[in-house]
């Protein structure tokens, strides 16, 4: 049962300091903490809290008139997670802009080691790997696609943006909270680790020789995508097989979010996951 809501009457109240000026605070110094925004993401955080996924809610901040509408979600949180409510002018003063959604939570993630995630993957597994994904919208979309097509995990190299950025988390519609993932390390090292565990590695590139609909999947497949423009590093493309998504002549490439969705659909279909 959720805690009784406590009223915040001043933007300077120290109890809600973590929510202050969240646009500026979102990019630095978060120390494994993140802001969950909106009803859908709050629901996903409630489902993930303390369920072995490494996610926990620390506190919740709501626009007062949203309290009744999210009551069922709040009841999923334990009573030691404080709930604060504020009027619109106070909430806007806290976050630094017109917070029309009026639903915020401060979450915390405890990341497990990459080897632990890899070793926990099932015998039949589909993994999405991102190298150099720096756009928050694309990162969020990748998680949403992975959830839609039943990928077992996402691995992001150290050059990728943090999917727990507020915008990425929102674009993912909360899928970051229920898709196992690890961020960190060198992309090539990640792929070598997957190959050692029996994964067929398929990079996605407009120069790929194999049509994405014709790849041999097997029981364990890793799909590797890179950033738009530069694409995947040559050291990755030269070492592993490359697949392409057929498209109209004259186009350079698809947006990585779109390409990921198409490719995951093709692979998941071949693996009879959908």
Predicted confidence (pLDDT) at residue 23 exceeds the cutoff of 80: no
pTM (predicted TM-score) = 0.91
pLDDT at res. 132: 95
pLDDT at res. 198: 96
Give the end of a domain, one of 109, 128, 163: 109
Give the end of a domain, one of 109, 124, 144: 109
Are both 103 and 121 inside the same structural domain?
no
Are both 152 and 36 inside the same structural domain?
no
Q: CB of 205 within 8 A of CB of 240?
A: no
Predicted confidence (pLDDT) at residue 8 exceeds the cutoff of 80: yes
Are both 126 and 48 inside the same structural domain?
no
- Strand order from edge to edge, sheet including 200-204: 181-183, 153-156, 125-131, 220-226, 200-204, 241-244, 210-211
Q: Element (H or E) spanning 226, and its range? A: strand 220-226
The total number of structural domains that make up the chain: 2
Give the tokens for residue 10.
């001043």
Give the end of a domain, one of 109, 129, 145: 109
pLDDT at res. 206: 87
Structural domain harbouring 88: 6-109
Are both 138 and 253 inside the same structural domain?
yes
Across residues 169-181, what is the average pLDDT?
94
Query: Which region among 126-140, 148-162, 205-219 has the lowest average model confidence (pLDDT)?
Result: 205-219
Say how many CA atoms lie within 13 Å of 231 toward its Cβ: 17
183 - beta bridge partners?
A: 156
Are both 100 and 118 inside the same structural domain?
no
pLDDT at res. 230: 75
Predicted confidence (pLDDT) at residue 35 exceeds the cutoff of 70: yes
CATH code for position 22: 3.30.1330.30
Report pLDDT digits (tens) over 97-140: 776 789 999 999 988 888 899 999 999 999 999 999 999 999 99
What residues contact residue 263 under an 8 Å CB cut-off, 6+ apart?
204, 212, 223, 225, 243, 245
Could you give the CA distance from residue 205 to residue 226 in angstroms, rounded to a whole number?
Answer: 8
pLDDT at res. 147: 97
Are both 139 and 162 inside the same structural domain?
yes
241 belongs to a structural domain? yes
1 belongs to a structural domain? no
Are both 171 and 234 inside the same structural domain?
yes
Are both 128 and 254 inside the same structural domain?
yes
């Amino acid at each position: 049962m959720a805690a009784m809501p406590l009223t915040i009457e001043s933007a300077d109240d120290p109890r809600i300091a973590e929510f202050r000026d969240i646009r500026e605070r979102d990019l630095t110094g978060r120390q494994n903490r993140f802001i969950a925004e909106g009803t859908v993401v709050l629901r996903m955080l409630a489902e993930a809290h303390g369920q072995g996924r490494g996610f926990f809610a620390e506190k919740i901040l709501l626009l007062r008139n949203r309290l009744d509408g999210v009551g069922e979600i709040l009841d999923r949180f334990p009573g030691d997670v404080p709930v604060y409510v504020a009027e619109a002018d106070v909430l806007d003063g806290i976050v630094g802009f017109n917070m029309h959604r009026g639903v915020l939570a401060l979450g915390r993630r405890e990341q497990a080691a990459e080897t632990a995630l890899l070793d926990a993957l099932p015998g039949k597994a589909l993994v999405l790997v991102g190298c150099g994904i720096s756009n928050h919208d694309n990162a969020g979309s990748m998680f949403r696609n992975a959830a839609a097509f039943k990928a077992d995990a996402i691995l992001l190299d150290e050059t990728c943006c943090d999917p727990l950025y507020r915008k990425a988390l929102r674009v993912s519609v909360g899928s970051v909270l229920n898709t196992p993932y690890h961020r960190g390390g060198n992309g090539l090292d990640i792929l070598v680790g997957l190959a050692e565990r029996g994964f067929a590695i398929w990079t996605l590139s407009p120069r790929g020789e194999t049509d994405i609909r014709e790849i041999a999947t097997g029981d364990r497949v890793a799909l590797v995508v890179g950033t738009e423009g530069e694409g995947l590093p040559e050291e990755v493309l030269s070492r592993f097989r490359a697949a392409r998504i057929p498209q109209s002549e004259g186009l350079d490439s698809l947006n990585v979010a779109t390409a990921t969705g198409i490719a995951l659909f093709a692979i998941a279909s071949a693996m009879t996951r959908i």
